[in-house]
Structure 1
């Protein structure tokens, strides 16, 4: 059996669909997760979101042991968490960073990124569709398909 693809999300992603929809879109996190499950019905997916930095770090470490690929939207922790950077740096699996908006086109404090230097790839600014692209790339990187 193939290892799963982990899709982890950071703070406030549980508010998708209602929080600043002009920036983040109207899709909820469950909408995004449902599309990922439909996109890859034969791929094991671990879909999680937390508002806790420590929990996210623990899940990243778990992904390093259990996953084929990690798709990560660290949300605000992208710009603040050295602990997350260090956890990601220890991984031996591909890491695909996803952002619904384009942080580089937003406030200056969002230009600091502790994830990108240790990520395999970054997808930003494509809204919820970015997750679908990331899953396609993850499947290809893990040898599970993808177009």
Structure 2
């Protein structure tokens, strides 16, 4: 028996924003590589959590220059919504267009207000015009 399955795509157009990377250093891609969120950052993972003592993390965003102006300001949501104060800053947070020669920086400053056994989950979404948004997850321990 041969079964074919076809699922209609509601959204037409490009889905993955190829040529876009996010890493912890200017030329790295631990978080997002070629538009795809990497293992460990696609959903909450306790083993990828940042410790209580780490008050900030900087991410470097790069994109092919021909498409970099399609990238919009990142937005975030924290779960649970009380107990961790999060603030975004840097050239990426203010809407700067990243290129491979000139990455933009997204500084994530977080301060624990309420200790918990489970990590806080920070979902970050970077809208890209005419593409699906780039989404990744960071987790923060507050012991």
Report the TM-score range of the alignment, normalised by the length of the smaller protein: under 0.3
Higher helix proportion (structure 1 or 2): 1
Larger radius of gyration: 2
Higher strand proportion (structure 1 or 2): 2
